[in-house]
Amino acid sequence: MSGSTAAVLIVTHAAMHEHAPLHNREVPARLIAALRGVAAAQRAGVVCEVRNAEPVRDAEVLAVHAQALLNRLRDGFEQGLEQAGPEAPLAAGTWSSARHAAGAGPTAVRQLLLPGAPRRAFCVVRPPGHHASHDAASGYCYLNNAAITAAAVRSLGLAQRVAILDIDHHHGNGTEAVVGRIGSCAYASVHAAGYPGTGLRDGGEGVFNRALRRIDRRAWLQAVAELLALLDAWRPEALVVSFGTDALIDDPVGDLGITQDDLDGAVAAVVGLWPTLPLISLLEGGYSLPNLEQAVQRHVRTLARTA
């Protein structure tokens, strides 16, 4: 790699392969493709410190979710429940995968607090999380990984003002719905104006939305620039990125017409704007496996940049 680089913390767990519902695009092969991307970044010279995700703790879940949702996810499959919510099917390995995916962010926070640790982390997780609200799973999402991470940033003392930037194709309706429970947490999202039909305008204080009504990469790039300016004015002390790759050209679920250069450029802009802030990125959507692998490779390489 050219330029100055630093180690990147990678947090993942083999248990995230276990969630394998039928007739669903959110499949274990996504995790394999993402991990291939990490391996490619390592071959390109990125130093990755790999750690296993700890299962999320009940207290970390309850910082943003209702006890009833926790109970439904933990016990639902054994009780014969087929769905935890709309487009959130339950299978034998769902709870194991979801609790490790949700625990990856807090694991990263604890690691980043250690002396000499990296300042940036990428959590290679599935299932994704940004559609999960306070009391409901939906849209392939069971627990809100990004919101749980942001709450852990504050509760564990990594920072007190934390901003979540969501660049998935879809609006993180669940994240926006729970961000007010975290305290001193901003949320900014660029997304298509379709599913889930939310995020068509800014929310309350510190909630910024840019909804695109057509495939338009220039509008996407402009929206990212606007959101970064708004977050900069909000003055975050730590960053959480909901990193989806489904806005890329040819994704079978999303597609906002953006290129790999566009997606990588957005992350490079984040790194350039806040070079010293702790940053934890978490995988959200992305259903073209070749796109996902390439995007993750580039993402990890960009997170390693120091100059």
Residues classed as catalytic: 131
Cis peptide before 106 (omega within 30 of 0): no
Number of Cβ atoms within 10 Å of the Cβ of 116: 5
Per-residue exposure over 290-301, b if at least 16 CB sit within 10 Å of its own CB, e if not: ebbbbbbbbbbb
Of 257, 266, 275, nearest to 299 by C-alpha is 266
Q: Report which of 48, 176, 52, 65 is spatially closest to residue 110, judged by C-alpha positions.
A: 52
Which amino acid is residue 189, in one-letter code? S
Task: Tell how strand 48-52 and strand 120-123 pair up.
Answer: unpaired
Contacts for 71 with CB less than 8 Å, ≥ 6 apart:
none
What's the Cα-to-Cα distance from 128 to each of 31, 92, 105, 112, 115, rounded to whole Å? 11, 17, 12, 22, 30
Using alpha carbons only, what angle is made at residue 222 by residues 10 and 244, rounded to the nearest 5 degrees? Answer: 30
Q: Give dist(CA 205, CA 270) in Å, integer.
A: 21
Number of H helices, E strands in the chain: 9, 10
What span, in angstroms and rounded, lies between the C-alpha atoms of 208 and 233? 12
